[in-house]
């Protein structure tokens, strides 16, 4: 099942598997996902990107606008926001760079952060793949990121990395076997604490309700500690804590 879901753009099947048939009203317009759904933990907003989108200025504005609308709609009770992250990274174009696409991504991040502070639980579900800048804009800003089965997470593939770093591909491939810090893979991001869970093939509605009811990652960013606990990122939490607490010389 997951292969089909991850490799096609069959949105209704994915949403049926996540929320149950007839329990979602979600529109997919091009690369933009927006709507709402019912879960066993209550109603949620659903916002995101689709079909391994290359996120550009236009898509970034739509995602940010949807988060702003969700906040405005929930003045009384802040419903959770479930982000669907399916992105091959940022769009590569001179026009987007000229407009300052980094500023548009920062704007999404500010919207997600304000939503969190206004009490919205935020979850990011990685579908297909999540790459680099497109993942940074909102997926990695959520309280918790979860990889659906078969999802890929990466900054850049090893061949491109070998080109840019001028290191031999064989060396990178060898180190990839023992070190999670640069090899692509949702499991590596799990070991480093940035992906909270990798879900199995079935049973998503119950897992979703459980993730929505938890409150990790909401008041504070606990991912570095999780990475240390899981053994994939041994220094981040300790170094940050040292800078936080060190007495002035």
Provide the 3-class DSSP secondary structure of residue 192.
Answer: coil
- Minimum Å gap between C-beta 196 and other proteins is 12
Within residues 35-64, the interface with other proteins by CB under 8 A covers 57-58, 61, 64
Nearer to other proteins by C-beta: 114 or 213? 114
- Minimum Å gap between C-beta 171 and other proteins is 7
Within residues 208-227, the interface with other proteins by CB under 8 A covers 221, 223-224, 227
User: Strands (DSSP E) along the chain, which ranges?
Assistant: 24-29, 32-39, 42-49, 53-55, 81-90, 122-131, 144-147, 152-154, 197-198
C-alpha 219 chain-centroid distance? 18
Cα three-residue angle 134-17-214, rounded to 5 degrees: 70
Within residues 141-170, the interface with other proteins by CB under 8 A covers 141, 153-156, 161, 164-165, 167
Helical (H) or strand (E) element with 69: helix 57-73
Contact stretch for other proteins (CB under 8 A) within 12-20, 26-34, 91-99, 198-206? 91-99
Q: Please pick, from the candidates 83, 135, 199, 204, the single residue that binds other proteins as defined by CB under 8 A.
A: 135
> CA of 102: how far to CAs of 60, 66, 158, 186, 239, in Å?
10, 19, 25, 25, 27
Nearer to other proteins by C-beta: 3 or 97? 97
| Cβ proximity of 192 and 230 under 8 Å | yes
73 binds other proteins (CB under 8 A): no
80 binds other proteins (CB under 8 A): no
Contact stretch for other proteins (CB under 8 A) within 11-19, 24-32, 34-42, 86-94? 86-94
Alpha carbon distance 233, 184 (integer Å)? 15
- Minimum Å gap between C-beta 39 and other proteins is 25
Within residues 93-112, the interface with other proteins by CB under 8 A covers 93-107, 109-111
Alpha carbon distance 136, 113 (integer Å)? 13
205 binds other proteins (CB under 8 A): no
């Amino acid at each position: 099942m997951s292969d089909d879901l991850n490799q096609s753009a069959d949105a209704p099947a994915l949403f049926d598997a996540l929320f149950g048939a007839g329990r979602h009203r979600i529109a997919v317009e091009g690369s933009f996902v927006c709507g709402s759904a019912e879960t066993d933990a209550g109603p949620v907003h659903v916002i995101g990107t689709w079909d391994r989108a290359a996120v550009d200025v236009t898509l970034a504005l739509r995602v940010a606008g949807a988060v702003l609308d969700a906040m405005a709609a929930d003045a009384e009770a802040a419903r959770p926001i479930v982000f669907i992250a399916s992105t091959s990274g940022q769009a590569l174009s001179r026009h987007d760079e000229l407009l300052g696409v980094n500023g548009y991504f920062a704007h999404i991040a500010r919207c997600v952060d304000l939503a969190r502070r206004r009490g919205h639980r935020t979850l990011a579900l990685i579908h297909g793949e999540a790459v680099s800048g497109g993942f940074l804009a909102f997926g990695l800003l959520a309280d918790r990121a979860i990889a659906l089965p078969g999802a890929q997470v990466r900054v850049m593939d090893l061949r491109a990395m070998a080109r840019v770093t001028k290191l031999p591909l064989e060396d990178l491939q060898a180190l990839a076997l023992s070190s999670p810090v640069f090899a692509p893979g949702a499991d590596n991001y799990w070991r480093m604490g940035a992906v909270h869970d990798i879900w199995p093939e079935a049973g998503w509605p119950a897992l979703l309700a459980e993730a929505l009811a938890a409150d990790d990652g909401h008041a504070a960013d606990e991912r570095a500690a999780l990475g240390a606990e899981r053994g994939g990122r041994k220094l981040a939490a300790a170094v940050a804590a040292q800078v936080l607490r060190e007495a002035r010389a």
